[in-house]
């Protein structure tokens, strides 16, 4: 730990002590009267090379614009929450935090975050879904500069060779996937891994069919799970989907082992690197023609933990810069995200046709935590378990969901 960082931690914890003492209200000590710090620490999980480089550029831009030095720390995704909790218990939280939007509820529930309205940040002009995802108990704690969602990405050459149109409905998807499954290639690939990633990939089927997270074993939910299970059982999708992360799915697609995949916009740059790969993007097929796909809203939200007035003010300034429209656009382009302000997103979609399907879907996307708040992780885990149980043939879909409802309710 450098001397500067140690000093920062010391002042931060000293400030925290005073903030905890009853006499001055926290909002008062957060007020504009305190001079802003000249350097802050920031924590994120953009650990992959491409995402990390793009994020570093954004931070550099905002460091120059605000004149605040940003000391960046990055951890692998899985270590984000343990690291934050560790920081919370030892009072060494970073001044600025970027975390996956469903985990925001957990962190906000600890009381370790400050409301963003303290720094003049509001959600005017943002997609309602992302505003909801950043709100805990009616207070705004996190806002994302860019969001993402899932769509159906297909290999144009393979579809053309098989005479298949990009599917729009579940029936069409089933037929297309079956037709495209041949010569050791699978028609469709997706991730059904036993974690949040698996739930996130299943939710578009679950929600588009009208199921709700509060009732995991509803007929609509069972129908959705049965549909996905049939895709695997019929051989149109590999049985290995239960072990594939979204990166593995993208690998399968890039190497031509699968004709269609369900994946996120952040993979677009990687697909563009393969000059011989011609791909197209359409919204995720819906149960009935004319319906709207409902995907889950993804992306990381920026939050300002309680670390003492001056540091918080500085972090608020940097966050405001990251959320400004030019930076938002720059980040969205560099990392293939969708700007989280609807007007910016519309402009972005017309400039980047490959992203238009994602832009369309973000409009109807739902926040995973809006309904359940901090109870979401438990329900999500139960749903991922049900998905795995059904796909491996361990338990029939309806029973798997009944067990999930029981597990999430207890």
Partner 1 sequence: MTVAAAPRVSATPRANRKSRRDNRFAAWAFLLPALAYVVVFFGYPLAANLVMSTQNYTVKSFYTGEAPFVGIENYSAVLSNPLFSTAALNTALFTVGSIVFQFGIGLALAVFFNGRFLGSALLRSLLLLPWLLPLVVSGAVWRWMFDQDHGVLNAGLRFLGFDAVPWLSSTSWALSAVIITNIWIGIPFNLVILHGGLRAIPASLYEAAALDGAGAWQRFRHVTWPLLRPVTGIVLMLGLVYTIKVFDVIMVVTGGGPAGSTQTLTTWSYRLSFQDFAFGQGAAVGNVLIVVATVFGLLYLRSAKATLAEAA
x/- letters, 112..131, toward partner 1 (CB under 8 A): x-------------------
Question: Considering only residues 9, 34, 85, 162, which one is a binding residue for partner 1 as defined by CB under 8 A?
Answer: 85
Q: How far is the CB of 163 from partner 1 (least distance, A)?
A: 25
Q: How far is the CB of 387 from partner 1 (least distance, A)?
A: 9
Write out the two tokens for 209.
Answer: 């069919």
Q: How far is the CB of 264 from partner 1 (least distance, A)?
A: 19
> By C-beta, is 12 or 241 nearer to partner 1?
241
> By C-beta, is 115 or 293 nearer to partner 1?
115
Write out the two tokens for 37.
Answer: 């710090």
Written as one string, the DSSP assignment of 144-207 is -SEEB-EEEEEEHHHHHHHT-PPP-BHHHHHHHHHHH-BTTBEEEE----SSHHHHHHHHHHHH
Q: How far is the CB of 343 from partner 1 (least distance, A)?
A: 35
Residue 257 contacts partner 1 per CB under 8 A: yes
> By C-beta, is 163 or 184 nearer to partner 1?
184
Q: Give the SS3 label for residue 47.
A: coil
x/- letters, 365..404, toward partner 1 (CB under 8 A): ---------x--xx--x---x--xx-xx-xx---------
Instruction: Choose the binding region for partner 1 from 51-59, 110-118, 171-179, 325-333 (rule: CB under 8 A).
Output: 110-118
Nearest to 50 by CA among 231, 247, 270: 270
> By C-beta, is 29 or 238 nearer to partner 1?
238
Q: How far is the CB of 360 from partner 1 (least distance, A)?
A: 32
> By C-beta, is 258 or 367 nearer to partner 1?
258
Residue 110 contacts partner 1 per CB under 8 A: yes
x/- letters, 90..109, toward partner 1 (CB under 8 A): ----------------xx-x
- Alpha-carbon gap, residue 321 to 319, rounded angstroms: 5
Residue 28 CB: number of other CB atoms within 10 A? 12
- Alpha-carbon gap, residue 59 to 51, rounded angstroms: 12
Residue 407 CB: number of other CB atoms within 10 A? 16
Q: How far is the CB of 377 from partner 1 (least distance, A)?
A: 6
Write out the two tokens for 109.
Answer: 């529930």
The strand pair at 96-100 and 39-44 is best described as: parallel
Instruction: Choose the binding region for partner 1 from 3-11, 82-90, 165-173, 340-348 (rule: CB under 8 A).
Output: 82-90
Q: How far is CA 85 from the centre of its chain?
A: 20
> By C-beta, is 65 or 395 nearer to partner 1?
395
Residue 88 contacts partner 1 per CB under 8 A: yes
The strand pair at 279-282 and 150-155 is best described as: antiparallel
Write out the two tokens for 101.
Answer: 């939007």
> By C-beta, is 145 or 377 nearer to partner 1?
377
> By C-beta, is 187 or 349 nearer to partner 1?
187
Residue 140 CB: number of other CB atoms within 10 A? 21
Binding residues with partner 1: total (CB under 8 A): 35
Q: How far is the CB of 238 from partner 1 (least distance, A)?
A: 6
DSSP H or E segment with residue 327: helix 325-335
Q: Please, which of residues 182-211 interact with partner 1 by CB under 8 A?
A: 184, 193-196
Write out the two tokens for 53.
Answer: 């480089």
How far CA 216 is from CA of 158, 314, 384, 385, 406, in Å, comes to 36, 43, 11, 12, 9
The strand pair at 69-74 and 39-44 is best described as: parallel
Residue with tokens 């007020």: 31
> By C-beta, is 127 or 202 nearer to partner 1?
202
> By C-beta, is 354 or 403 nearer to partner 1?
403
> By C-beta, is 68 or 80 nearer to partner 1?
80
x/- letters, 333..372, toward partner 1 (CB under 8 A): ----------------------------------------
Nearest to 173 by CA among 293, 296, 284: 284
Taking a C-beta distance cutoff of 8 angstroms, is the pair 229, 390 a contact?
yes
The strand pair at 146-147 and 338-339 is best described as: antiparallel
Contacts with partner 1 by CB under 8 A lie at 81-82, 85-86, 88-89, 106-107, 109-112, 184, 193-196, 238-243, 257, 374, 377-378, 381, 385, 388-389, 391-392, 394-395
């Amino acid at each position: 730990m450098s001397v500067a960082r140690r000093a920062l931690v010391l002042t931060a914890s000293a400030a925290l002590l005073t903030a905890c003492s009853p006499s001055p209200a926290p909002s008062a000590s957060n007020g504009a009267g305190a001079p802003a710090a000249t350097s802050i620490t920031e924590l994120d999980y953009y650990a992959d090379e491409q995402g990390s480089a793009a994020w570093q550029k954004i931070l550099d831009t905002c460091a120059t614009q605000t004149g605040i030095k940003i000391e960046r720390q990055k951890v692998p995704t899985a270590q984000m929450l343990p690291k934050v909790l560790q920081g919370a218990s030892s009072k060494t939280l970073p001044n600025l935090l970027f975390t996956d939007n469903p985990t925001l509820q957990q962190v906000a529930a600890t009381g370790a975050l400050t409301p963003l309205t303290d720094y003049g940040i509001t959600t005017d002009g943002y997609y309602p879904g992302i505003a909801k995802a950043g709100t805990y108990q009616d207070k705004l704690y996190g806002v994302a500069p860019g969001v993402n969602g899932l769509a159906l990405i297909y290999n144009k050459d393979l579809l053309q060779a098989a005479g298949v149109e990009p599917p729009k409905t579940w029936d069409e998807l089933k037929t297309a996937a079956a037709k495209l499954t041949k010569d050791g290639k699978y028609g469709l690939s997706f991730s059904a891994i036993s974690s949040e990633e698996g739930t996130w990939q299943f939710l578009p089927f679950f929600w588009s069919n009208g199921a709700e997270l509060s009732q995991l074993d509803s007929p609509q939910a069972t129908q959705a799970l049965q549909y996905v299970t049939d895709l695997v059982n019929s051989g149109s999708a590999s049985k290995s989907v239960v072990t594939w992360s979204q990166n593995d799915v993208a690998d399968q697609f890039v190497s031509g082992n699968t004709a269609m995949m369900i994946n996120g916009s952040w993979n677009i740059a990687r697909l563009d690197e393969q000059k011989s790969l011609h791909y197209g993007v359409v919204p995720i097929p819906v149960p009935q023609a004319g319906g709207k796909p409902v995907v889950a809203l993804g992306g990381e939200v920026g939050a300002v933990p309680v670390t003492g007035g001056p540091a918080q003010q500085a972090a608020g300034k940097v966050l405001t810069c990251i959320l400004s429209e030019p930076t938002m656009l720059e980040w969205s382009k560099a990392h293939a995200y969708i700007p989280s302000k609807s007007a910016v997103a519309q402009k972005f979609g017309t400039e980047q046709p490959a992203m238009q399907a994602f832009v369309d879907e973000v409009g109807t996307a739902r926040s995973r935590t809006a309904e359940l708040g901090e109870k979401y992780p438990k329900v999500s885990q139960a749903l991922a378990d049900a998905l795995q149980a059904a796909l491996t043939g361990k338990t029939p879909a309806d029973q798997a969901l009944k067990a999930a409802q029981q597990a999430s309710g207890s």
